């Protein structure tokens, strides 16, 4: 990247690469014949490798450009580019955040309130994305929204309508999003809700914006969507509960007047109305569960096909089952709870897989994970639980699933050969595992990267290098996976493999640092999955683009060099000494890879 490139040229090239990356990713999810799909996969790898190099140069050039002091013209140019990237769907945090950080002190010193309002709002969103990537769950730093709201003191001092809307957007982020992500308490959400409505209803605001449709829309959304407080309303103070009950009943009456039947009213409004009836002692907990379950079943019959799903439909599909289960946990007797969850399990496993697998947003992935482990609490058999994990989580993330299936084939082959040649390696394993050793290895391999389902947006970032805060998220994926399964008595046996598959054999390196793999009763299985994980990653010429794919012989040389420290010496020797195993592995990672990955694609994407 030459120095005479302007910041606009640099970012325009980056945006073109982002567009192409999206096209390549979308091509993998289309229904195609084998050769056509494999051609797409190979082309994607080639183009991604090219973009990876180009984007690395772009990021280096951007970093160098940002080291220079800002002048008025360069600040304005950078601000315009940030604005464009943010609103046009190119808000890659690694690119946008350094630009935003550069601009904020400049415009704080200039006291340019309109620009600061945009910059604070953009940083709020991008920082939230980074936190989600780093820790595997959303967290919002609401200080930026409080900063934006503080500028309402200038509401009547020439602030234009666009920037006045930003104040209402900040209120929405606090009252609704902040509460939904538990960044603020129910009481603080209520305080902001009252403050926002008092400000809106003031004569001065009404005179200025009482007919501004865009601001009215935000205020109406605040009124309606504050009902999300239903999830934690009983933790709030009496005044908040009273306001909630009144609003829920008002919204319910409005919905009933507008719709032909109760099944057509908004699901969020109906849930809030029922919970209000419980708080007011008009209905028991069991009665509101029964009423909402009836509503759920009838409304499911009206739910449209995937292509016609509205935002309200999506909210209903995601939240209605979670609402019912949350109410069950408030004190419904166990037998009834199991009966209700059995019904929900059947319906959601059918409808969620049909309607939600086409949505790949991190938010949807998070909800799928939450519901998956909610269902598992009510499942009786290990087979049921594992099938639920594979269907709702593992198969949903195609790149991770393709890799996990490849590791499974390699691990089965290595396990069978090691068991035949060195059965003593497995003597120290728990008896329950030894009874079905190969089956346990197969399931461990499929589950070893389950933690990546919490950071899918990082896993799918293949068009550029990861930055430190994203790589931290990658290093956390074993811990995320272990946390997912360790609370279930049937799944906890996979915990050590999931947690330790990036550890060195002798414990001297790898991650997580705090996990001592050398003391695990499943140490040899951790080592086995680690070796097969490394073999697939190093030899993958179809799915990975940031490194040149190696041959099995090249990888085996590295395994030999690292045996005793990074790799289990006994397992490495099994591979070294078995021409049959090397032949099988060589086939799996070369010509066999295409067949294996295509079958996995059919199972996952279609």
Task: Write out pLDDT tens, residues 587-596.
Answer: 999 989 988 9
What is 397-605's CATH number, 1.20.1250.20, 1.10.3210.10, 2.40.110.10, 1.20.1630.10?
1.10.3210.10
Residue 336 has pLDDT above 80, yes or no: yes
Average pLDDT rounded to a whole number, residues 507-536: 96
pLDDT category at 301 given cuts 50, 70, 90 is confident
User: What's the rounded mean pLDDT across residues 301-327?
Assistant: 82
More confident residue, 448 or 137: 448
Q: What is the pTM of this model?
A: 0.80
Distances (CA, A) of 420 to 16, 369, 414: 53, 38, 10
Lowest-pLDDT range of 104-108, 228-232, 546-550: 546-550
* pLDDT of the residue at 362: 59
CA distance 410 to 419: 14
Give dist(CA 476, CA 465) in Å, integer: 17
Secondary structure class of 490 (helix, strand, coil): coil
How does residue 458 score in pLDDT terms, banded at 50, 70 and 90?
low
| pLDDT, average across residues 325-352 | 86
Q: Predicted confidence band at 546 (pLDDT cuts at 50, 70, 90)?
A: low
Q: Which of 52-61, 152-161, 371-380, 504-513 has the lowest mean pLDDT?
A: 371-380
Average pLDDT on 366-382 reads 80
Task: Pick the range with the lowest mean pLDDT from 152-156, 254-258, 470-474, 479-483.
Answer: 470-474
Q: Is the pLDDT of residue 123 over 80?
A: yes
- The per-residue pLDDT for range 393-450, each reduced to its tens digit, is 777 777 888 899 999 999 999 999 999 999 999 999 999 999 999 999 999 999 999 9
Tokens of 121: 């709002």
- Residue 73 reports pLDDT greater than 70: yes
What's the mean pLDDT in 326-354? Answer: 84
3-state secondary structure of 306: helix
Q: Long-range contact list for 558-567, CB < 8 A, 24+ apart?
A: 559/531, 559/534, 563/505, 564/505, 564/506, 565/504, 565/505, 565/506, 565/508, 565/509, 566/504, 566/505, 566/506, 566/509, 567/505, 567/527, 567/530, 567/531, 567/534
Q: Where are the extended beta strands (E) located within 267-366?
A: none
Per-residue confidence (pLDDT) for residue 316, from 0 to 100: 85
Give the confidence band of 31 by pLDDT, cuts at 50, 70, 90: confident
pLDDT of 352 strictly over 80: no
Structure tokens at 335: 């037998």
Sign of the CA dihedral running 565, 502, 97, 130: negative
Query: What residues does 563 pair with on adjacent strands?
Result: 567
Q: Which residue has the tokens 């490394």?
A: 534
Residue 498 near residue 451 (C-beta atoms within 8 A) = yes
């Amino acid at each position: 990247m030459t120095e005479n490139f302007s910041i606009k040229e640099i970012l325009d090239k980056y945006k073109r690469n982002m567009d192409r990356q999206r096209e390549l990713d979308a091509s993998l999810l289309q229904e195609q014949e084998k050769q056509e799909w494999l051609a797409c996969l190979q082309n994607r790898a080639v183009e991604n490798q090219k973009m990876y190099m180009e984007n690395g140069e772009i990021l280096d050039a951007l970093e160098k450009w940002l080291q220079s002091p800002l002048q008025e013209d360069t600040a304005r140019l950078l601000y315009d580019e940030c604005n464009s990237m943010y609103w046009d769907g190119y808000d890659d945090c690694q690119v946008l955040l350094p630009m935003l950080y550069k601009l904020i002190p400049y415009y704080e010193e200039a006291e340019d309130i309109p620009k600061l309002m945009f910059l604070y709002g953009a940083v709020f969103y991008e920082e939230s994305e980074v936190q989600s990537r780093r820790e595997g769950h959303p967290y919002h730093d609401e200080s930026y929204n409080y900063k934006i709201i503080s500028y309402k003191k200038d509401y009547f001092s020439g602030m234009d309508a666009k920037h006045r809307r930003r104040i209402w957007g900040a209120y929405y982020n606090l009252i609704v999003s902040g509460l939904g992500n538990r960044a603020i308490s129910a009481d603080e959400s209520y305080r902001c809700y009252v403050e926002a409505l008092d400000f809106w209803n003031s004569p001065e605001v009404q005179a200025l914006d009482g007919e501004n449709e865009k601001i009215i829309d935000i205020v109406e959304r605040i009124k309606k969507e504050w009902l999300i407080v239903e999830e934690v309303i009983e933790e709030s103070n009496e005044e908040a509960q009273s306001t909630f009950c009144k609003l829920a009943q008002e919204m319910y009456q409005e919905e009933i007047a507008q719709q032909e039947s109760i099944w057509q009213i908004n699901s969020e409004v109906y849930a809030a109305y029922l919970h209000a009836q419980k708080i007011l002692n008009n209905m028991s907990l069991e009665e509101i569960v029964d009423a909402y379950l009836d509503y759920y079943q009838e409304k499911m019959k009206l739910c449209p096909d995937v292509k016609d799903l509205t935002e309200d439909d999506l909210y209903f599909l995601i939240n209605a089952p979670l609402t019912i289960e949350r109410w069950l946990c408030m004190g419904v007797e166990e037998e009834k709870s199991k009966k209700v969850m059995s019904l929900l399990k059947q319906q959601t496993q059918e409808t969620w897989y049909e309607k939600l697998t086409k949505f790949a947003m991190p938010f949807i992935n998070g909800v799928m994970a939450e519901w998956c482990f909610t269902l598992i609490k009510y499942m009786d058999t290990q087979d049921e639980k594992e099938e639920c994990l594979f269907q709702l989580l593992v198969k949903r993330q195609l790149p991770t699933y393709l890799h996990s299936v490849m590791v499974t084939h390699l691990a089965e082959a290595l396990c069978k050969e090691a068991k035949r040649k060195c059965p003593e390696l497995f003597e120290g394993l728990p008896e329950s595992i030894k009874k079905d050793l190969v089956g346990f290895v197969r399931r461990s391999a499929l589950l070893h990267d389950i933690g990546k389902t919490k950071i899918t947006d990082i896993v799918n970032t293949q068009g550029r290098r990861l930055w430190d805060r994203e790589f931290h998220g990658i290093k956390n994926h074993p811990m995320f996976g272990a946390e997912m399964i360790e609370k279930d008595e049937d799944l906890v046996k996979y915990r050590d493999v999931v947690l330790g598959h990036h550890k060195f054999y002798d414990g001297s390196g790898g991650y997580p640092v705090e996990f001592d793999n050398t003391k695990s009763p499943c140490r040899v299985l951790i080592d086995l999955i680690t070796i097969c994980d490394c073999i697939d990653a190093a030899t993958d010429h179809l799915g990975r683009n940031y490194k040149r794919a190696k041959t099995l012989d090249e990888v085996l040389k590295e395994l030999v060099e690292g045996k005793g420290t990074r790799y289990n010496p006994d397992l490495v020797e099994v591979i070294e000494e078995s021409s049959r195993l090397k032949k099988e592995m060589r086939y799996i990672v070369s010509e066999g890879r295409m067949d294996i990955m295509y079958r996995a694609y059919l199972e996952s994407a279609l």
